[in-house]
Amino acid sequence: MAATPFQTDVSIAITKGLNYLATAGVFNNPSSLGVNSAQGVAMEALLEKRASGNPADPPQGYVGASAADQALLKTAASFILSNSFPQSFYAYRDGAWMFALSGYALTGGPDKSVLGPAVPAYHTIKQTMDAMVDRTLASQTASDVCKGFWGYTGTGCDSSTTQYASAGLNAARVFYNSNKSADNVFADAVRAAAIDAALASTRAGYVLNGKAGSDNASCGTVTATERGIGYQATGYNPSLQQTASGIYIQLFGGADVNDANLQHYMEWVRNHYRYTDLDNMGNSWPGASHGYYLWSSFKGMELIRQSGVVVNAGNVGPNDYGTVPANAGCTFRQSSLVPAAKAQPALFGGAPAGVYSAETTGQYFDFAYTLINMQCASGAFECTGYNGSWEGSPNAAHNGYALLVLQRATGIVQTKCDVNGDGKVDSTDIKAIMAGIGKPPVAGDPRDYNGDGVINIVDVRQCTLQCTNNKCAP
């Protein structure tokens, strides 16, 4: 199917944005960002690049990347493998490194034996993942009201660091449940079980600490059953970015879209929905958190869409964002854009309204159209009022978040049915799915084709139809 004009513009925006980060040396070894910045977020964006703007395209991962992108991914991975020891826990760095390195490994990225066999500072992918996972698990708060949360460098009650730790651990869980190997076998049932317990604890913490209200007097408590969370589990009103993160964190802990507590969080975001900016809903960081919110919000909804779980009647679903107009209860809330009424940004040609009439109204168009209007000729998403982020030039966190939204990214770079992550579906994958029959899938599990929470013969049949070669030949 030919790409629509909007999909084409999104594809151009992704290429320009990744080139901007590459030119700035973000993927280098050493990275221009240093050790404790957003290199992992940028690497994830490169892994989740699509062949076009068509949302049906899978992430490229390592094996599907061009030679130029593979070279960037190898240097980015080398940076992680050579800097993970000796380090103490730092949530932002370790979380992002875990989900980036997991995606790289699961899609065929080379290990130490290729990247630096004679370099003493390098460790293997498995050794590096083990070290990051172990120090993350050891740093989780174990008791009281903040049980399940993390701080920046250890225990704490901070939601922003908890969303990174949780996202990294969830990706690590997929890594440890895979049947793939590089210099070492990835499978590790003990660590996978420890992650299951940690993420269940985090889910419980977000349920316990959810509350109503907001920082915006014109959009406070809208409905009696809404619940959200702020930057700290205690002492802060809910914010868009942290409540959105709380949705996918509860999914990682075992909830689905119809879970009552997750519904309270989705209700809060629906009631306070916004996309052009965060106004004063950001717990004092509405500008620096804009891209952060866009990805955290879209990621949770995309995981729900991909899960295949039907939204029960009367519950809030991903398609309900943007459907409630602003009113006296919340003058701050935004309704979804009408694609046919929006003109093409000048950077992409400046065609008049109507050029995007093929697009569907909803969250993705709201977010993606906002972002391509923010993009500069340089490729940075910073040209319409963006005022900075928590790390310095080239604002890799914000620009990485923007790219991940455009790519419909979930932070799990492993496509349906491709169990061993080699970029194709063949008899090896089908055998692995058959071996998993009766076992519970994990979040993003490629064996659960229809997302019904069960690995069974239906998944085997559906994945057999996805085989790349005739008769599922390798």
Q: Where are the domains of the chain?
A: 5-414, 419-474
Coil/strand/helix, residue 262? helix
Coil/strand/helix, residue 330? strand
Predicted pLDDT at 118: 93
Q: How many CB atoms lie within 10 A of CB 21?
A: 28
Q: How many CB atoms lie within 10 A of CB 88?
A: 9
Predicted pLDDT at 308: 75
Q: How many CB atoms lie within 10 A of CB 179?
A: 16
Predicted pLDDT at 421: 59
Predicted pLDDT at 435: 87
The residues of the chain scoring below 70 in pLDDT are 1, 51-56, 385-392, 414-415, 420-423, 442-444
Q: Which two structure tokens, joined as six digits, stand for 95?
A: 């979380």
Whether the Cβ atoms of residue 199 and residue 253 lie closer than 8 Å to each other: yes
Predicted pLDDT at 305: 87
Query: Can you tell me the distance from the alpha carbon of 454 to that of 447, in angstroms, rounded to the nearest whole number?
Result: 9
Which of left, alpha, beta for 443 (phi over 0: left; psi -120 to 50: alpha)?
Answer: beta
How far lies 357's CA from each of 161, 165, 353, 367, in Å? 39, 40, 8, 16
Q: Which two structure tokens, joined as six digits, stand for 179?
A: 């049947």
Whether the Cβ atoms of residue 382 and residue 17 lie closer than 8 Å to each other: no
Query: Can you tell me the distance from the alpha carbon of 45 to that of 408, in angstroms, rounded to the nearest whole number?
Result: 10
Coil/strand/helix, residue 63? coil
Predicted pLDDT at 227: 98
Q: Which amino acid is at 393?
A: S
Predicted pLDDT at 53: 57
Whether the Cβ atoms of residue 329 and residue 222 lie closer than 8 Å to each other: yes
For the domain spanning 419-474, the CATH number is 1.10.1330
pTM as predicted: 0.89
Query: Can you tell me the distance from the alpha carbon of 133 to that of 168, in angstroms, rounded to the nearest whole number?
Result: 8
Predicted pLDDT at 90: 97
Which residue shows structure tokens 């996202």? 167
Architecture of domain 5-414: Alpha/alpha barrel (1.50)
